[in-house]
Chain A
Amino acid sequence: MAAGTHGATQETAVRTNIFVRALIYAVLIVFAVYYLMPLYVMLVNSVKPLEEIRQGNMMSLPTIFTLEPWRSAWSTAQIGVQPTGLKPYFINSVLMVVPAVAISTLLGALNGYVLTKWKFRGDGIVFGLLLFACFIPFQIVLIPMARLLGLIGLAGSTPGLVLVHVVYGLGFTTLFFRNYYDAFPTELIKAAQIDGAGFFRIFWRILLPSSGPIIVVTVIWQFTNIWNDFLFGASFADFDSQPMTIALNNLVSSSTGVKEYNVHFAGAILAALPTLIVYIVSGRYFVRGLMAGAVKG
């Protein structure tokens, strides 16, 4: 009797479980479809000839498959006045993003190292001021920054954009590394000091090699923000230093000629591709690193 009752209870529990599970999966699938829909539309229409899109069905699969829109977006489409495609601007973006990410990550790590392991009088205030950078809306600083870039002769150049992004990324990168290094055992620093390692040797040989997860988090964060930035690019770049985002805008919003939707879709995907790849490759670390920072910090 007892066994029977027990069995029945268990069966009910299992059945409820299956029902709840089905519900959860259904909801998840609905949301996944909802979020993937725009990507689907972009992908499908980027490989259709323009006529097919004009016929009106955005959702249908292509009847004629073509990569011509991609080729056009990359190398021949009209951007502003030049028929160069997105290629030169893509290169501009890379030339801006790589040094900006590298420098801001390294400086953030150095700041975090000093703020946790070489404490000085007023270090809390310095950290607080650096954190302020995270809360300042970028629009506020546009005019002072333009003036500054002009004064130091970096206006309208890629190094100028790098400088702007480094300065505004420093708040976040410092925050990330400070919280990470806060949990890093100080005895290791002391041991290295006794072993005879100096300030930078400890940083290079002990601290940085142990910072894998937080470096990944910082790089993803900085890469995404700088690659996707439009405001600074539009404000401070010249024609020959404009990043991808500006070029995409110029491609899509040109007011003359036929709207080549398939080329626009292909261009938009091209612009989003690098961040997408960065996320897919290291997304796992991103979540793990953010959590680590959150719990320990």
Chain B
Amino acid sequence: MAFLEISNLQKRFGTVDVLKGINLAVEEGGFLVLVGPSGCGKSTLLNTIAGLESITGGEIRINGRTVNNLHPSQRDIAMVFQSYALYPNMSVGQNIAFGMEMRGVPKAERDKAVAGVAKTLQISHLLDRKPSQLSGGQRQRVAMGRALVRDPQVFLFDEPLSNLDAKLRVDMRTEIKRLHQSMKTTIVYVTHDQIEAMTLATQIAVLKDGVLQQFGTPHEIYNNPSNLFVADFMGSPAMNLIPATIEMNGGGVTVVLGRDGLAPLQLKVANDSKLSAHAGREVIFGLRPEAITDMNGADRNSARVVNADCHVEVVEPAGADTYVVTRLGGREVIGRMRSDMQVAPHSTVPFAFNMDKAVFFDPKSELRIA
């Protein structure tokens, strides 16, 4: 049995269904990231786990105990809020100790626990200050200290890094990962930033409109998206999603991509019965930018790299790589080439398509075909 189990969870505000039957299970010590565009219900889901929102149907179990009707303080959870939610009238030390004070922990014990947590987070010198005297990063640490000191069964993080500037955000991300590795406490983490989700999670749940789109490891989500939404949402730059037709010729399956002024591009893919069933029909062909490269940059372990000349529309050097934009099937298609490739706009250069990484979707149902 999983440590945190959510089964058929439903939440309704009036007549609006916010969560429509969510099923999730996280092992002890797992790091679950809930990700999705704003309004997808991820924060509501977190609030129902915390007990700050009641649920309309379903069940939430923490370590085998059903917590549906328990008060937030009795669920053995701790939460870090987006705005940090530090009590403005109390010092940092009092903020961290407030939960213990409410539970009647003696003063000496409280002080010891606060000192320990402050040391872990390197905020010992700040304990007497008021939250208003702290910088954003320091406030973030205090908010985490308040959660850590409870030593809960589950940590809940509600977009904790979104109020920090870009550099600090990356630093704190690493810090959260390090804390998780050393403490091994189960974490549920909400974010709309898919890079945060990829870097932190052991498991990702992608939500849209209150429906769970896919639940899996970061690797699964990234490489095997179960539908168009997940494929498009995860990854930056986003996956190339190109309208194409499937053709059978000479026993092999070929993807045909229309091109302006040039003969259609034909890319051979591995024989696949699911794909050949769509022969002669329109599909959406998905390939990530890093699977479209120059010939020397192509993955040598790949069994099926197809080379083809394409017309270059725009070249975007990004330092480590150079993004090259071409047009296939009427869409802009981004490829990622090595930065020392000399590519001029409006020239025609050979592109290498790593067809091992190709995914296909049904344009109507938006579900994965192959």
Binding site for B on A (CB under 8 A): 185, 187-188, 190-197, 201, 205-206, 209-210
Q: How far is the CB of B52 from chain A (nearest CB, A)?
A: 5
Question: Nearest chain-B residue to A184 (Cβ)?
Answer: B88
Question: Nearest chain-A residue to B47 (Cβ)?
Answer: A190
Question: Nearest chain-A residue to B50 (Cβ)?
Answer: A194
How long is the Cα–Cα vector from A187 to B80 in the complex, in angstroms?
10
Question: Nearest chain-A residue to B74 (Cβ)?
Answer: A196
Q: Quick one: which of A187, A191, A193, A209 contacts B89, CB cutoff 8 A?
A: A209
A190 touches B85 (CB 8 A): yes
8 contacts between A and B (CB under 8 A): A188-B86, A190-B72, A194-B52, A194-B79, A195-B73, A205-B87, A205-B98, A210-B88
CB of B206 within 8 A of chain A? no
Please give, as numbers and ranges, the residues of chain A lying within 8 Å of B98 by CB-CB distance: 192, 195, 197, 205
CB of B82 within 8 A of chain A? yes
Q: How far is the CB of B69 from chain A (nearest CB, A)?
A: 15
Q: How far is the CB of B81 from chain A (nearest CB, A)?
A: 5
Q: Quick one: which of A191, A201, A205, A210 contacts B81, CB cutoff 8 A?
A: A191
Extra contacts besides A193-B52, A194-B78, A197-B102 (5): CB < 8 Å? A187-B83, A190-B72, A190-B85, A197-B98, A206-B87
How many B residues are at the interface, by size bracket? Answer: 20 to 34
Q: How far is the CB of B199 from chain A (nearest CB, A)?
A: 25
Q: Quick one: which of B82, B88, B99 contacts A195, CB cutoff 8 A?
A: B99
By CB atoms of chain A within 10 A, which of B51, B81, B83, B87 has the most? B87
Please give, as numbers and ranges, the residues of chain A lying within 8 Å of B99 by CB-CB distance: 194-196
By CB atoms of chain B within 10 A, which of A193, A195, A197, A209 has the most? A195
B102 touches A196 (CB 8 A): yes
B52 touches A206 (CB 8 A): no
Please give, as numbers and ranges, the residues of chain A lying within 8 Å of B146 by CB-CB distance: 191, 195
B73 touches A193 (CB 8 A): yes
CB of B103 within 8 A of chain A? yes
Q: How far is the CB of B97 from chain A (nearest CB, A)?
A: 10
B85 touches A185 (CB 8 A): yes
Q: How far is the CB of A223 from chain B (nearest CB, A)?
A: 24
A194 touches B88 (CB 8 A): no
CB of B231 within 8 A of chain A? no
Q: Mark B80-115, 1 if CB is under 8 A from A, else 0.
A: 011101111100000000110011000000000000
Please give, as numbers and ranges, the residues of chain A lying within 8 Å of B33 by CB-CB distance: none
Q: Quick one: which of A187, A192, A209 contacts B82, CB cutoff 8 A?
A: A187
CB of B77 within 8 A of chain A? yes
A187 touches B85 (CB 8 A): yes
Question: Nearest chain-A residue to B99 (Cβ)?
Answer: A195
How long is the Cα–Cα vector from A291 to B88 in the complex, in angstroms?
21
How long is the Cα–Cα vector from A187 to B85 in the complex, in angstroms?
6
Q: How far is the CB of A218 from chain B (nearest CB, A)?
A: 18
The 6 closest A-B pairs by CB, nearest first: A196-B73, A195-B99, A209-B89, A196-B102, A187-B85, A191-B85
Q: How far is the CB of B76 from chain A (nearest CB, A)?
A: 11
Q: How far is the CB of B84 from chain A (nearest CB, A)?
A: 8
